[in-house]
Chain A
Amino acid sequence: MDAPDLDTTDRRLLDEFQRGFPLVPQPFSVVAERLGGTPSDILARLKRLIAGGLIARIGATFRPHSVGASTLAAMAVPPDDLPRVAELVGAFDEVNHNYEREHRLNLWFVVTAPDAERVRAVLAEIEAATGLPVLDLPLERGYHLDLGFPLWR
């Protein structure tokens, strides 16, 4: 599904409910009242947008460190070995983001766990399994959290 195929209601669904989704017993009725249409039309659209991969889910994003502990970690992996190391790193349930970026430090991942001790343990396990040092870059201060951002405005 390409973005140009989206009608106005789809776009408003994507754009206007990134924050402040109604926390009431029948939220899709509230959405339908705001955008027009029926609750079942809104549900059908959401199912289609999720199936098309445009929406990952409806849910919460958490302020770092308000729930559990986390860190950003980086490794300099020999390029030929990157797929293998990335798979090994991604196999940890605690690793929830894992990206290749253009840099000597080419593998970047976020480790989230119930406590800081478990975060440190995961980093140590990754170092042991790969034989590569892991740079540990915990958050010191957040100036701007994931608040979503305007798509079309």
Chain B
Amino acid sequence: MALKDKTTGADEGLLRRLRDGLPLVARPFQAIGEAIGRSEADVIAALRGMVDSGVASRFGVIVDHAALGFTANAMVVWDVPDNRVDAAGAALGGRRGVSLCYRRPRRPPVWPYNLFTMIHGRDRDEVSALVEELAEACGLSDVPRELLFTVRRFKQTAPCYGRRDRRAA
């Protein structure tokens, strides 16, 4: 199965089990192994493989930023000329308050933006100020942009990589 190849030994069972988070017991990898019929060493090796190969961007504590007081965030989108977008993406990624930075296609005429960032702050003013700072620091003050503040979270769960056996409504 393609999933298994790409995740260096991590099968769907392990990925599905991980969606619930690491069990809070002294030997959590052993507990996962028991649940999916693999050894503790096997589970640890598979997870290390995912992190080392870059398949997993990280393994660790996944905090809820809203619960921690980072209640404001916006998807900030930029219409960067094609010949500048890679440099802009590299400049924006990794700066304070920026959790994601991706290039996606424009869809004219409804959607002119090609660079997407998520910007987090403790309130709207902090997010807006941060965006001004970022634009200036990254030479993007001349580039059209929009701030799509988050109003409501309807759903946020870990991604579903396995096959589903239930029809959605």
Interface 0/1 of A68-99, CB less than 8 Å to B: 10101010000000000011111111111111
Is A56 touching B149 in the complex (CB atoms < 8 A)?
no
Dominant secondary structure at the A interface:
mixed
* A58 surroundings in chain B (CB, below 8 A): 21-22, 60-62
Contacts A59-B18, A93-B164, A135-B107 given; does A26 touch B26 at CB 8 Å = yes
Our count of residue pairs bridging A and B at CB distance below 8 angstroms stands at 261
A26 to B27, CA, bound (A): 5
Within A26-82, which residues are at the interface with B (CB < 8 Å)?
A: 26-29, 39, 43, 46-47, 50, 52-64, 66-68, 70, 72, 74
Shortest Cβ distance from A46 into B: residue: B24
A7 contacts the other chain (CB 8 A): no
Is A67 touching B55 in the complex (CB atoms < 8 A)?
yes
Within A120-148, which residues are at the interface with B (CB < 8 Å)?
A: 125, 135, 137-148
Is B60 touching A97 in the complex (CB atoms < 8 A)?
no
* B55 surroundings in chain A (CB, below 8 A): 62-63, 66-67
Known: A18-B61, A93-B168, A148-B62. 10 other contacts (CB 8 A): A25-B40, A46-B24, A58-B62, A59-B62, A67-B161, A74-B111, A94-B164, A99-B152, A138-B105, A149-B99
* 7 A-B residue pairings within 8 Å (CB atoms): A20-B59, A20-B60, A50-B24, A55-B64, A60-B47, A60-B58, A61-B56
